[in-house]
Amino acid sequence: MSKKPAKPIRPQASLSAKKSLYNPAKWLDRASTATEQDGFYKKIFIGLSLAILLTTIVLALGSGINGDDEYQNDYSTKLVSYYSTMGADSSALYIDKGKMHYYGGFFDIVTGFTNKALGFTWQDAGYHSVRHIFNAIFGVLAMLSTALLAKEIAGWRAGILTLLFMFLSPRFLGDSLMNPKDIPFAAGYAIALYYMALFFKQMPTPHWKTALGIVLGIGLAIATRAGGLLLIAFLFLFAGLDFLIKNGLGGITSESKIVGKYAIWTIGIAAAGYILALLFWPFAIQSPISNPLEALGEFSKLGVKIRVLFGGENLMSDETPWNYALTWIWRTIPLFSLIGLLGGLVFLGRFFKKYQPLPVFIAFFAALFPLFYIIYKDSILHDGWRHLTFVYPTMTVVAALFFLELEGIFKENKVGKYALYVVLGLMMAEPAVFIARNAKFPYTYFNPVSGGISGAYGNYETDYWGLSMKQAIDWLEAQGIISPTMTDTVTIGTSFSYVAHAYVDKKFNGKVKVNYVKFGSRYEKDWDYGIFPSRYIKGPHLRSGSWPNKRTILTITANGVPLTAIEQGGGAVFEGEKLLKAQDFQGAITAFQKETQQYPDNEQAWLKMAMANLNLGKPAEAKTAATKSIEVAPGNTTGLFYRGLAGLYGGDLAGAADDFRAAMKLESDMLPNIKNAYERLAQSYDQQGNAANAQQVREAAKNL
């Protein structure tokens, strides 16, 4: 007689679990019968993962150098020296420029030693290729971990959809090519969250490999940025919730052995992750408690304050409104993520009923809590929401759950189901096309509902890292303007001088020189070609359409929107600058007049013409030139200041006050110079014996 097949053994819920709000056995039964978790979808997932890894690495090799790499590369060199000398070289312990010692060093240690082994320095193309390859690997690790979290919640189809969402998110993909701060941190965050979801499914008898996954995720996150300490808090929070879900409140007293297991595992994992992170962070090694907390405090207020373009205004990063991050997020994530996240919030109750509650909670909480916390803390941010890149992966998990839920709702409605597929396909195609068209800098993406990148131009930063510098220098080489075999020297002027040095110093055998010049004073130094990304140009100037100006010989664009311009050097404006320095003001005026006849949109020539006229005591002519500079470059505070001076010295105190107030509204730090101008004029009246006019000027100054 044949034996009956044995019944499958399933994990059983504890007695206390049967009394709790949720019964884990129900979710285990549901997961075991899910038709999605089969070999076919798993094979698709694996194949897609490999294709994404290969594609991301290829894209990374074509990406430009991140403008912040000046600080990262210096830190990497110091870290390699620190570990090579067993701490004898302590330069990595305090770095004033960029405060890099506040960052964990894992990425820079790994890439630093790799580059050292290969014999690359920061002036070699291979040096940056190594960093970009590692960056791509960490980006894909974040994508995979996020997709696996979705798989743990809703099966392989959810994992596949999440993986596609991650790869087709231009901002995240773009950062994965070259952002060595935010992407490794996001990877650690995603790895830890995935293994936490898996870990708590297995509790109270988890596998050690799962625990190790959490340790590695926490270690990587903290060894990148002190904010990774948040994961330790999450671990304890999720442990408490998981215990209550499975055992109820009564379990705290009736299940003392299980309570002990939770405590031992969570404390052990947290301690191991923290210790692992310390191994890659010299500053933290010096004082394992106080120094990481000091770094965390520094990041919570993001002490670096820079001028940012937001909503069309150039603000200091500590003056941005409370919704700065929210505005950037909704404008720059693809529609499938935006709609999916909002829809997921609506369907949250359905998700808790349909799936295991804790993994769902992990996805939602990890996506939203940090965002609202930084709003509550009024944290200082800049460069969009890149400091919150780590929250985006779990947003895509929520989005994937939403669209799968919609599919289920339309299961019996053939028209509705296929309409959903078409709409979702179009939403995925739109960012895919942007990535294909702008593969060198996909992080400049803005979604269609925000007006795309053309709507963002002049209102929000686009290529704030200056990645398009690479295309500009490549073009100069392709045109034969610069080459390793040339005999003459070519000088490049740019506001991104470190990036330019990295591209040209070694490759062109010292025949290409680089001059650092600010965009607002770019003709004060000689150069043959000027390369200027839009980063340091005022929003009103960009919106006016006068940049790139008529000196431009090439514009690098994204979807037709200017990112970087190459200007031709030489000509009257440089001669005018030299004459101005020599205090030959009339000669300078003549040169600037010649420049503006040929290039009427050169705001700097108009500005310097105004300055020269002021020095010659010609306020009317100065006012005319300053006005032209403002017409060419609206929001030009120097032009407003010069026109204010012209009004002040020409007797138009009311007009001067209006210009000074407008200048201070744009840049409040101009007040000392303006006050000084009033006082100098008042003193000149005093010297003439005209006390009444002097008093009038001083009273006018009080009304600013």
Best CA proximity match to 641, nearest among 209, 625, 583: 625
Question: What's the CA gap between 423 and 335, in Å, rounded?
Answer: 10
The pLDDT of residue 381 is 79
Q: Given 568, 602, 621, which residue is the final one in a domain?
A: 568
Contact 344, 351 (CB under 8 A): yes
Question: What's the CA gap between 601 and 546, in Å, rounded?
Answer: 6
Are 177 and 46 members of one domain? yes
Burial of residue 37 (number of CB atoms within 10 Å: 0-12, 13-18, 19+):
middle
Are 612 and 523 members of one domain? no
Q: Among the listed ranges 12-16, 117-121, 167-171, 464-468, which one has the minimum average pLDDT value? A: 12-16
Structure token digits, residue 154: 């809703």
Q: Hey, is 311 helix, strand or coil?
A: coil
Model confidence at 205: pLDDT above 50 = yes
The 10s digit of each residue's pLDDT in 382-424 is 788 998 999 999 999 999 999 999 999 998 898 999 999 999 9
Backbone angles phi, psi at 561, to 5 degrees: -95, 130
Q: Given 521, 536, 568, which residue is the final one in a domain?
A: 568
Backbone angles phi, psi at 34, to 5 degrees: -65, 125
Q: Hey, is 6 helix, strand or coil?
A: coil
Are 55 and 151 members of one domain? yes
Are 84 and 170 members of one domain? yes
Are 542 and 598 members of one domain? no
The pLDDT of residue 28 is 45
Question: What's the CA gap between 427 and 647, in Å, rounded?
Answer: 55
Strand partners, 567: 530, 552
Tell me whether residue 30 is in a domain.
Answer: no
Question: What's the CA gap between 198 and 151, in Å, rounded?
Answer: 10
The 10s digit of each residue's pLDDT in 331-383 is 999 999 999 999 999 999 999 999 999 999 999 999 999 998 888 877 777 78
Model confidence at 117: pLDDT above 50 = yes
489: containing domain: 469-568
The pLDDT of residue 252 is 84
Tell me whether residue 583 is in a domain.
Answer: yes
Tell me whether residue 442 is in a domain.
Answer: no
The 10s digit of each residue's pLDDT in 221-266 is 999 999 999 999 999 999 999 999 988 888 888 888 999 999 999 9
Model confidence at 20: pLDDT above 60 = no
Tell me whether residue 4 is in a domain.
Answer: no
In the chain, the number of structural domains is 3
Are 543 and 689 members of one domain? no
Q: Given 533, 568, 603, which residue is the final one in a domain?
A: 568
Angle between helices 653-666 and 637-649 (to 10 degrees): 160
Tell me whether residue 676 is in a domain.
Answer: yes
Tell me whether residue 61 is in a domain.
Answer: yes
Q: Among the listed ranges 9-18, 171-180, 287-296, 491-500, which one has the minimum average pLDDT value? A: 9-18
Tell me whether residue 16 is in a domain.
Answer: no
Question: What's the CA gap between 631 and 609, in Å, rounded?
Answer: 15
Are 228 and 87 members of one domain? yes
Tell me whether residue 141 is in a domain.
Answer: yes
The model's pTM is 0.89
Contact 10, 32 (CB under 8 A): yes
Residue 265 backbone zone (phi > 0: left; psi -120 to 50: alpha; other: beta): alpha
Best CA proximity match to 625, nearest among 667, 585, 666, 682: 585
Mean confidence (pLDDT) of the chain: 90
Question: What's the CA gap between 302 and 234, in Å, rounded?
Answer: 22
Structure token digits, residue 18: 């049967």
